Amino acid sequence: MIPVTKPFLPPREEYKQRIDQVLERNWLTNNGPLVNKLELRLKRYLGLDHLLFVSNGTIALQFAINVLGVEGDVVTTPFSYVATTSSIVWEDCTPVFADIDPETLNIDPENVDAAITPNTSAILATHCFGNPCDIEALRSIADANDLKIIYDAAHCFGTTYQGECIFRYGDVSTTSFHATKLYHTVEGGAVITEDPDLLERMAYMRNFGHDGPGQFNGVGINGKNSEMHAAMGLCNLDYADDILERRAEQCRYYDELLSNLKVRKPEPLEEANVNHAYYPILFESHEAMKRAKETLEGREISPRRYFHPSLSSLDYVPDMETPVSDDVAQRILCLPLYHTLTKEEQEMIARLLLRAQNY
């Protein structure tokens, strides 16, 4: 079987050595030494001033919404994983969907501008498939309307824009280190901001608000992560360059193999260096996508319909029309992509897709 993704795993002995150290210290969680080491190494690797390692990418989004004092309406994308929308709802705000650009599949700044009302307090945009949003246009809209910007950069480890880590943009940026991601800590995520005061507040928030024994600094929650997860993160970080290079090679090979397939890929933003975390393709019709998907599944190959359905169809959000997102969600398919995927497997996938097209 060929799944849509498999987690990268470091050599077992390297992970075991770190876990043995954790067990010898008997310090499993609560801001342990490996968590601190991972934060320092991630900041150094990514070129960041501030970063907090948290339990997952969803709680990272909720921290961002909360720490910025966001209330009322949040203009967001209908084309993302459900956590982008559910985090807004969990924080008692209302998602207002601005349709996506049909070329980049990211939120369209013109639609963002049109969706803003006096009740809008923030923009929450996803850098879809690791491809940066139109950062300059969104910043201009936010400044003109006194809005906060949160970036859901769950897909973006290793992506840069204008030579800078994509996590540096926005009032707060969040990411995921889930096992399905290019770089992972099994479960995990991070919040990133250039504002040290916001970072300090989120540091209290992730640990119940603790400020010393019997003292609390505001309302907090359990958003910490463990030494076991940090151990995996530290091991995997040693291989981050290799993972990124391997993904780029695999995507280039798919490009070559599928040059005669009647599909297109999302257009990357200029001045962006995308991390190749996914290989999404857009078919000409829902029927063509379905035929390709069923052909692959018939050979125990599992592509994924990232992202389907459009989030505007969720039953806990207001009714809104998002025709571009709805259409894209009907035609998109992400092909298998992971570190140990072989050229021979890619070739088989390509043959099956071309066969389905000519059926």
Q: Are residues 105 and 42 in the same domain?
A: yes
Torsion of the alpha carbons at 140, 141, 147 and 150, rounded to the nearest 10 = -80
Task: Copy the structure tokens of residue 19.
Answer: 């876990």
Q: Are residues 28 and 61 in the same domain?
A: yes
Tell me if 4 is assigned to some domain. no
* 180 and 249 assigned to the same domain: no
The sheet carrying 148-152 orders its strands as 52-54, 189-192, 172-176, 148-152, 120-126, 73-76, 94-97
Q: Is 137 left (phi over 0), alpha (psi -120 to 50) or beta?
A: alpha
Q: Is residue 328 part of a domain?
A: yes
Domain check: are 160 and 21 in the same one? yes
Residue 53, Cβ neighbours under 10 Å: how many? 26
Tell me the Cα Rg of the chain: 21
In angstroms, the Cα distances linking 239 to 243, 247, 256 are 6, 12, 26
> pLDDT at position 180, please?
97
List the chain pLDDT tens, one digit each, 359 residues. 999 999 999 999 999 999 999 999 999 999 999 999 999 999 999 999 999 999 999 999 999 999 999 999 999 999 999 999 999 999 999 999 999 999 999 999 999 999 999 999 999 999 999 999 999 999 999 999 999 999 999 999 999 999 999 999 999 999 999 999 999 999 999 999 999 999 999 999 999 999 988 899 999 999 999 999 999 999 999 999 999 999 999 999 999 999 999 999 999 998 999 999 999 999 999 999 999 999 999 999 999 999 999 999 999 999 999 999 999 999 999 999 999 999 999 999 999 999 999 87
Which among 218, 237, 256 is the end of a domain?
237
The residue segments making up the domain with residue 330 are 240-357
The DSSP output letter for 334 is: E
5 in a domain, yes or no?
A: no
Q: Tell whether 278 and 169 lie within a shared domain.
A: no
Q: How far is CA 268 from the centre of its chain?
A: 16
The pLDDT, as a whole number, for residue 76 is 98
Is 1 within the bounds of a domain? no
Residue 242: partners with Cβ closer than 8 Å, 6 or more residues away: none
Percentages helix, strand, coil for the chain, rounded to the nearest 5? 40, 15, 45
- Final residue in a domain of this structure, among 204, 221, 237: 237
Residue 22: inside a domain, yes or no?
yes
151 and 98 part of one domain? yes
| Amino acid occupying residue 97 | F
- Pair of tokens at residue 27: 């310090």
Residues 178 and 260 placed together within one structural domain of the fold: no
6: in domain: no
Q: Give the closest residue to 25 by CA, choosing from 192, 228, 168, 267.
A: 228
Helix, strand, or coil here: 324?
helix
Q: How many domains does the chain have?
A: 2
Kindly report the number of other CB atoms within 10 A of residue 47's CB atom.
12
Phi, psi of 246 (to 5 degrees): -60, -45
Whether residues 203 and 266 share a domain: the answer is: no
Residues 163 and 196 in one domain: yes
Tokens of 258: 């599928």
pLDDT score recorded for residue 353: 98
Alpha-carbon distance 293 to 65, whole Å?
37
Residues 220 and 272 in one domain: no
| Dihedral (Cα; 292, 298, 299, 304), 10-degree rounding | 50
What is the DSSP secondary structure assignment for residue 218, as one 8-state letter?
Answer: S
Give yes or no: residues 57 and 184 share one domain. Answer: yes
For residue 323, the tally of other CB atoms under 10 A from its CB is 11
What is the per-residue pLDDT for 212?
85
CATH of the domain at 298: 3.90.1150.10
Longest dimension (CA), the chain: 69
Q: The domain that contains 231 carries what CATH number?
A: 3.40.640.10
Cα–Cα distances (Å) from 22 to 15, 59, 156, in that order, read 11, 25, 29
Among 237, 255, 272, give the residue marking a domain's end. 237
> Does one domain contain both 252 and 309?
yes
Q: What is the pLDDT of residue 248?
A: 98
Residue 154: inside a domain:
yes
245 within domain boundaries: yes
Q: What is the pTM of this model?
A: 0.97
